[in-house]
Amino acid sequence: MLENKRILLIVAGGIAAVKVPDLIRRLRERGAHVRCVLTKGGAQFVTPLTLAALSGDKVYQDLFSLTDESEMGHIRLSREADILLVAPATADIMAKMATGQADDLATTALLATDKPVMIAPSMNAMMWTHPATQANLLTLQNREVKVVGPGAGDLACGEVGDGRMSEVPEIIAALSRFFQKTQGQGPLAGFRAIVTSGPTHEPIDAVRYIANRSSGKQGHAVAAALAEQGAKVTLVTGPTAEPVPDGVQVQKVETAAQMLKACQAALPAEIVVCAAAVADWKVEGAGVSKIKKGKAPPELKLAENPDILATLSAPGKDRPALVIGFAAETDNLIENAKAKRAAKQCDWIVANDVSPGSGAFGGDSNTVHLVTADGVENWPTLKKRAVAERLAERIAKFAERNL
């Protein structure tokens, strides 16, 4: 997907700039044309000569170069590329991008471009989580700037946490997914997928309901990742504040019964991912009027909700080729996930710990284990978006071999 793509690589001043030479090399191996803009800070970590030798092109540094700017170099650089990639993207350059500053060649090119922009953030964990950085990140995302990473791990400052720039293969994969999406291609092109997400709300009366703490972040991320791999995705979601991902069809529901009906209406499909946290029970005979407070609490009789995962996994002519469930557990995670996979007759289970303190419900990160017929894969703690991308890549490999 990177063959003949023109990438303007902006190298800012962070220790992760030492990864840039390898990034350039790997991009060129895939047929991409790379042109570099090196900031003053970036030049403290990697030399212009190194970048020029690896990219096979001139390295641009000076906004006030008489030679380059006689041809309006910052405009030409920003317009001749297919995408602008900032790697590493420091807190400083993210802030400048968010506020529209243009005090050097890199930020001027970013402000003058009419092409897509992708950033690979890299900074200290405290800097990454600072409200100012997170506000700048949200601003950039709202402007459709693509973000890859950061990951968690050992940082150059000696601390451990979020802020580590994504590894070179992850950045290349993100670029490939972007071009696949824009060109309507991808390994899952031609395949249909159904993804469930969010909680369900089971009414008690006209104003009260039974629910859970699911935010829908993981399910929505899975839908987005499958769409980026080229699949035609139907997202069936319970009530959530998460925005609808680009390129998916959405069916909004409230109850488990409505969710099952919407999933069945979306069949046939080759892939189903049941990431929703469906309420196991509903109130039998829930009324349309508000229950008035009395001397004693009302007695609520519970009835079992339909089992969406088991229903979609049941053998039959409409059964999807790959059915994946999620198992949110507080105890005996792997054992319960294996038992759930067997009981529901699904193909894979994504098991995650939702015990108090895990931060899974409503948080941005997840620690999951993929349970299949071949065993258990223990994945590291990742952003939910990264979990979704990794799962989508596994699905794509399955489809290539089996569908």
CA dist list (Å): 314 to 51, 212, 232, 311, 320:
56, 26, 23, 5, 9
Among 36, 157, 263, 346, the active-site one is 157
Measured between alpha carbons, how far is 368 from 387 in angstroms, rounded to an integer? 8
Q: Which residues pair with 271 in a beta bridge?
A: 193, 322
Q: How many CB atoms lie within 10 A of CB 261?
A: 16
Cα–Cα nearest to 60, from 43, 45, 44:
43
Question: 285 burial class (0-12, 13-18, 19+ CB within 10 angstroms)?
Answer: exposed
CA distance 249 to 286: 31
36 is an active site residue: no
Cβ burial of 401 (10 Å; 0-12, 13-18, 19+) is exposed
Residues designated as active site:
157
